[in-house]
Amino acid sequence: MKKNASLLVLLIALCLSFGAEAQIDQLIPKPVKVVPGTGSFSLSPQVQIVAPANKELAETASLFADQLFAVTGKRLKIVRQAQKGVRSIQFGLNKATDPLLGTEGYSLTVKPNLISVSANKPAGIFYGIQSIVQMLPAKSAIRQLMVVPAVQITDYPRFGWRGLMLDVSRHFFSKEFVKKYIDQMVKYKYNVFHWHLTDDPGWRIEIKKYPRLTEVGAWRVARTGPWGSYPPPQPGEAATDGGFYTQQDIREIVKYADDRFVTIVPEIDVPGHSMALNVAYPELSCSGTQYSMYPGSNGGMGENVICAGSDRSFEVLDDIFAELAELFPGKFIHAGGDEVDKTFWKKCAKCQKRMKDNGLKDEHELQSYFMKRVEKILSSKGKKMIGWDEILEGGLAPGAAVMSWRGPEGGIAAAKLGHEVVMSPLQFCYLDYQQSDMSIERTGGGYVKLSDTYKFEPVPEGVDPKFVLGGQGNVWTEFIHTPGRAEYMTWPRAFALAEILWSPKAPRDFTSFVKRVEAQFPKFDLAAVNYSGGIYDPHLKSVKNQDGNVQLLFEKEMPDIQVRYTFDSTYPDFYSNRYLDKSIDIPNGASEIKAVTYRKGKAIGRLLSARISDLKK
């Protein structure tokens, strides 16, 4: 029996060793240089983590031990010096700076008896660790026999700003979820968390000098269903939906992110998208009218723009940004500046006087005046302002950076003026947009598939790369009510952005990339993190042929799946019509089309069901 058990263990170990080689090809983002070695490193309980007497490295080693425990079920011992005869995972900072690696790059060597990670700075060690964790199998028959393939990796990022934005104004998410979200980001080498803390439907951060911002502005009446279709607040109806982060919560999350080498960029959105601010303090609006909090109702929300003609507006913003600057140690504060409804300013005597007194020819220049004053406020706090690309309208504040969202044009214009830019164009980077066929998801917003996101290039043609800080994906939450849905909309498209922002610019192979994406799904299952399987769904398009007749086409993102479809309202099984990669004529009398994707004879995607009348429209 003992001999058979030993043989079983040996066979499993050999299988794991062979399988480990495939783990190298599953890394996201793809490293700069990979040289496979021979053999593998077995992650047994006797392995030690060796971290020198450095505070940051000690914290990073502890986080690494936690990550390994989550995967292997074993907690490895952390020591300061390697012990003879004991296999170890060793961290070391370079005595002489390697200019190739910069501040976030790393060198990783895996041999059968040793794993070593070296870098110029602790951040590089941290990112090397993430590559080790990614190369572990999602699970093992015998957890102690998990192995890391022998390899030599040299890796460093293309961009310094690799971000994801989470909107917590439309729907509030707990601090525990924010931490979990950051945990997933760093596994794929993201380093910026853009936190959209205020907007029309909710103010989410405690400001001690203005308590009504959270007493009133953090709460609205409860509504469920499609955003924008809700009935307005009713007289006497209690505002019970919402929440906010105390300043202690903020400090806790900032520290949590900093330990993982993530910088948080907070956003206070002004002068538009300020309904919550105006409801809490009506004197900051042009009319001073008291409105109810906006819950996503159909129709107008009320006055959501701060008065640009009142000095009180800038006094309050100075106080707010002073508290914000104390809470967030990063270089940037995002001040919004997007989608300002200037009709309120056109009707406001104070705003019109401001324009006349300052020689401003229109409300676009008034917005520029407003944002330039905000930029001076932030500069006085030692911060740099970044705003959405509308801050270009009427003239850009001298020290401002621009986040380009309506397309690349804003970023191009700002870079040509010598300003730093973060590229986040909606056609690639809006992760709240539907990622599967609209007949499947039906959640509103736009449409951005994984393959669309993978086409993103942060440096437009003709732009000097030195002005492009990087890029980010944005998760707006009008149509996202729950933490699980926020994860679902983020992943796997955030894998594509992670690779684009870290890996060298090179011809990208989407077929190879989606195989690496699939390898992440079992790990997300084990970590209880949601994700979309939209890459397996069929995508339907209607086109007109040369005779003016409507025909149908299917698109698919996975190369090895088949589309099966029906026109007779029956569920499409593996024996239904197979799509042959050419346009389909619609049979006379057909009222709907249904389709499902199959792989190796088994259904893998979700059911698509579309009415022919809608397709013809």
What is the per-residue pLDDT across 166-179, written as a single tens digit (0 to 9) for each? 999 999 999 999 99
- Give yes or no for a cis peptide into 36 (omega within 30° of 0): no
What confidence score (pLDDT) does residue 4 get? Answer: 52
| C-alpha torsion angle, residues 224, 225, 230, 234 (rounded to 10) | -20
Burial class (CB in 10 A: 0-12, 13-18, 19+), 58: middle
In sequence order, what are the residues at sequence separation of 6 or more whose Cβ sits closer than 8 angstroms to the Cβ of residue 495? 28, 188, 513, 516, 517, 520
Q: What is the pLDDT of residues 561-616, one digit of tens each?
A: 999 999 999 999 999 999 999 999 999 999 999 999 999 999 999 999 999 999 98
Give the Cα separation of 498 and 163 in Å (integer). 8
Supply angle C-alpha 501, 495, 493, rounded to 5.
110
Q: Which two tokens stand for residue 318?
A: 């100075």
Spatial strand order in the sheet of 48-50:
33-42, 147-155, 106-111, 114-119, 88-93, 48-50, 77-79
C-alpha span between 535 and 516 (Å, rounded): 13
Give the model confidence (pLDDT) of 443-468 as tens digits.
Answer: 878 999 999 999 999 999 999 999 99
Residue 135: pLDDT band with limits 50, 70, 90: very high
Task: Kindly state the helix (H) or strand (E) to which residue 596 belongs, with its residue range.
Answer: strand 592-599
**236-248: pLDDT as tens digits:** 999 999 999 999 9
pLDDT, residue 5, reads 45
Tell me the pLDDT of the chain averaged across its residues. 93
Residues in the chain: 617
Is domain 2-155 classified as CATH 3.30.1380.10? Answer: no
| Beta bridge partner(s), residue 202 | 199
- Exposure on the CB side of residue 518, measured as CA atoms within 13 A: 14
Q: Do domains 161-534 and 537-616 have the same CATH topology?
A: no
pLDDT tens by residue, 154-163: 999 999 999 9
Distance CA(363)–CA(370), nearest Å, equals 10
Pairing relationship of beta strands 77-79 and 48-50 according to DSSP bridges: parallel
φ and ψ at residue 490, rounded to 5 degrees: -75, -50
| Residue owning tokens 């389909």 | 584
What mean pLDDT do residues 476-504 have?
A: 97
Give the active site residues: 199, 273, 339
Per-residue pLDDT at 225: 86
Highest CATH level, class, for 537-616: mainly beta
> What would the CATH number be for the domain defined by 161-534?
3.20.20.80
Q: Could you state, in order of their start, the residue ranges of all structural domains in the chain?
A: 2-155, 161-534, 537-616
Residue 140's pLDDT is 52
Longest dimension (CA), the chain: 94
* Residue 444, pLDDT score: 74
* pLDDT tens digits for range 329-378: 999 999 999 999 999 999 999 999 999 999 999 999 999 999 999 999 99
What pTM value is reported for the model?
Answer: 0.95
Structure tokens at 306: 């701060």
Q: How far apart are CA 243 and CA 249, in angstroms?
A: 12
Nearest to 478 by CA among 453, 449, 445: 445
State the burial class of residue 179 (Cβ atoms within 10 Å of its Cβ: 0-12, 13-18, 19+).
Answer: middle
Token output for 442: 């039906």
Instruction: Provide the pLDDT confidence category of residue 141 given band limits of 50, 70 and 90.
Output: very low
| pLDDT tens track for 255-314 | 999 999 999 999 999 999 999 999 999 999 999 999 999 999 987 788 999 999 999 999
**The 3-state secondary structure of 117-172, one letter per residue:** EEECCHHHHHHHHHHHHHHCCCCCCCHHHCEEEEEEEEECCCCCEEEEEEECCCCC
As a whole number of Å, the end-to-end CA separation of the chain is 71
Number of other CB atoms surrounding residue 452 within 10 Å: 18
In sign, the C-alpha dihedral spanning 440, 446, 450, 452 is: positive
**Strand duo 106-111 + 147-155: pairing:** antiparallel
CA distances from 588 to 143, 550, 567, 611 (A): 58, 12, 10, 14
Could you tell me which of 50, 16, 8, 47 has the C-alpha nearest to residue 149?
16
The pLDDT tens digits for 8-64 are: 444 444 444 445 566 888 999 999 999 999 999 999 889 999 998 888 899 999 999
Query: For residues 504-530, b (16+ Cβ closer than 10 Å) or e, as one string?
Result: eeeebeeeebbbbbebbbebbeeeebb
